[in-house]
Chains A and B, each alone.
Chain A
Amino acid sequence: MNNNEKVIDIIGLNKSFTEGRVLTNINLHLVKNENLVILGRSGTGKSVLIKCIVGLEKIDSGSILIFGNDVARMDESELNDVRKKIGFLFQGGALYDSMTIEENLYFPLDRNTPDMSKSEKQAIAEEALENVGLLDARKKMPGELSGGMKKRAGLARTLVLKPEIILYDEPTTGLDPFTSQGISELIMSVKERYKTSAIVVTHDMKSAKNVADRMIIMEKGEILATGTYNELKKYENEVIRGFFN
């Protein structure tokens, strides 16, 4: 796979709930080792979009190609195989609250790599925790962690399966500026260390500027503009200007 090859390619995606249309004719792609940021106000369908990518939400029409395979037409076992290549960082970390941080990391490892030895699993979990700066907190329960630590632990859990793509859902929402900066740096460091491609959904322009190779701005379920930070800055559209002011 060359560096410009598309790892995700979304074509003509539409999605609606009973309340109405959420996503309209979405076309976007993600290339290898790229960080794509999707910016948009709350309720514009950003989180629904990345949930469609991993099959958590069923789409009405269109296609979502991941490594060339259409997620919308996969059966459960095919979808599970693709999901193992994709990491998903949920807004609140989504840590299993009945397990310690360490157990949270072993949980997907035990089920997805049953043949791996215990010592190998331990080494992978410790490496992931060290990379997110949480090695000392491995015996803690999720309830004992701050919001930022929960997100870092959630990222560590994602990293143990060595995903090729990571989807970040509002990684800096609800965090103070200092912690937000730390999370943005972590996203960049994960990209370097693990050679991942990522889609980052956010409404935080400061974080978006730090992590994005390319940005997409969404409004009312549609893509409004695509480009780099500097390209988008030149737009006169009121919604786009709103993110820069």
Chain B
Amino acid sequence: MYRQKLYDFFSELGKIAVFTGAAVRSFFRMPFESKEFVRQLFQVGYRSLGLISITAFIIGLVLTMQTRPIMQEFGAESWVPSMVFISVLIEIGPVLTALLFAGKVGSRIGAELSSMRVTEQIDAMEVSGIYPMKYLVATRVLATTLMLPLLVFYADFLALLGSYLGYTMHNSIGLWLYILESFEEIRFADLFPATIKTFVFGFFIGILSCYTGYNTNKGAEGVGTATNTAVIMSSLSIFIIDLITVQITSVLF
């Protein structure tokens, strides 16, 4: 039984690798589906703004409210802006935004493609001589890969504003000075890996969501399963990539 499960696991991993290869090759198939790509940028980016704005602002606020009393005890209250911002920039911002993104965008892609699969829309593209990997998968994966880093920058900025609000509940400081203090301890070596990993998060959220949706074959039940699996696989991949990135970063920087 365990051997079978192990076999199934590696078999699925192999299929994902083949799918990823086909998706990457389709990035370079001309002509590029630019209209669909722009539509996907709007869908995955603009439509996620509301959720990410609220969450990032609250995280910045709460993190500061909880950190400040502890730091005050040690007489290190002035370190709060930079400490909170480093936490947000390096870990909380990218991971939390990616998780929200996986929930909102991953589920949408999984549901959309699986629904297209069960209603034979993907088959209809294939029989018309259209390459669905290029139209459906390449555009979505590129959109998630490029849009997630931008959303993370945006989320970091809003968390900084939330943090400022939390800090000024007990202290008096101007916004510009607070921003300067937040950035005081930030080095390029902190920013670079944190940014690179958001591209990787975005790529895998796109690939795994497309993979689960594209390969559905069990009717309406399959749509539900694909949507669910897209979110679970994407979320899990974020933690695994994060773990690997930390190891690589600690060696390189």
Interface of A with B (CB < 8 Å)? 51, 54-56, 80-81, 83-84, 86, 88, 90-92, 94-97, 107-108, 111-112, 114, 154, 157, 161
Q: Which of A84, A86, A91, A107 contacts B120 (CB 8 A)?
A: A91
Q: List 10 A-B residue pairs with CB atoms under 8 Å apart, sorted by A's residue number.
A: A81-B129, A83-B129, A88-B124, A90-B124, A92-B119, A92-B120, A95-B121, A97-B121, A108-B130, A157-B128
Chain A residue nearest to B39 in the complex (CB): A98
Question: Does A97 contact B119, Cβ atoms closer than 8 Å?
Answer: yes
Cβ-based interface call for B8 (8 A): no
- State how many angstroms separate the Cβ of A40 from the closest Cβ of chain B: 19
Question: Does A108 contact B129, Cβ atoms closer than 8 Å?
Answer: yes
- State how many angstroms separate the Cβ of B99 from the closest Cβ of chain A: 27
- State how many angstroms separate the Cβ of A229 from the closest Cβ of chain B: 29
Question: Does B120 contact A94, Cβ atoms closer than 8 Å?
Answer: yes
Q: Which of A51, A56, A80, A154 contacts B129 (CB 8 A)?
A: A80
Question: Does B128 contact A90, Cβ atoms closer than 8 Å?
Answer: no
Q: Which of B127, B130, B131 contacts A54 (CB 8 A)?
A: B127
Known interface pairs A83-B127, A112-B129, A157-B124; 17 further A-B residue pairs with C-beta atoms within 8 A, sorted by A's residue number: A51-B123, A56-B123, A56-B127, A80-B129, A83-B126, A88-B124, A90-B124, A91-B120, A94-B120, A94-B123, A94-B124, A96-B124, A108-B128, A114-B31, A154-B124, A157-B128, A161-B128
Question: Does B130 contact A111, Cβ atoms closer than 8 Å?
Answer: yes
Set of chain A residues within 8 Å of B121, measured between Cβ atoms: 94-97
Question: Does A90 contact B120, Cβ atoms closer than 8 Å?
Answer: yes
Chain A residue nearest to B122 in the complex (CB): A94
Pick from B119, B126, B128, B131 the residue with the most CB of A within 10 Å: B128
Interface of B with A (CB < 8 Å)? 31, 116, 119-121, 123-124, 126-131
Chain B residue nearest to A84 in the complex (CB): B129
Chain A residue nearest to B118 in the complex (CB): A92
Q: A206 vs B16: C-alpha distance in the bound complex, in angstroms?
A: 46
Question: Does A56 contact B119, Cβ atoms closer than 8 Å?
Answer: no
Set of chain B residues within 8 Å of A96, measured between Cβ atoms: 116, 121, 124
Question: Does B123 contact A90, Cβ atoms closer than 8 Å?
Answer: yes
Q: A54 vs B128: C-alpha distance in the bound complex, in angstroms?
A: 10
Q: A137 vs B119: C-alpha distance in the bound complex, in angstroms?
A: 21
Chain A residue nearest to B134 in the complex (CB): A111
Q: Which of A88, A92, A97, A114 contacts B127 (CB 8 A)?
A: A88
- State how many angstroms separate the Cβ of B105 from the closest Cβ of chain A: 16
Set of chain B residues within 8 Å of A83, measured between Cβ atoms: 126-129
Set of chain A residues within 8 Å of B127, measured between Cβ atoms: 54, 56, 83, 86, 88
In the complex, the 9 A-B pairs of residues with the closest C-beta atoms, listed nearest first: A94-B124, A94-B120, A108-B128, A80-B129, A88-B127, A90-B120, A84-B129, A83-B129, A54-B127
Q: A111 vs B61: C-alpha distance in the bound complex, in angstroms?
A: 50
Q: A197 vs B72: C-alpha distance in the bound complex, in angstroms?
A: 83
- State how many angstroms separate the Cβ of A22 from the closest Cβ of chain B: 15
Set of chain A residues within 8 Å of B120, measured between Cβ atoms: 90-92, 94
- State how many angstroms separate the Cβ of B22 from the closest Cβ of chain A: 11
Chain B residue nearest to A104 in the complex (CB): B124
Set of chain B residues within 8 Å of A90, measured between Cβ atoms: 120, 123-124
- State how many angstroms separate the Cβ of B8 from the closest Cβ of chain A: 13
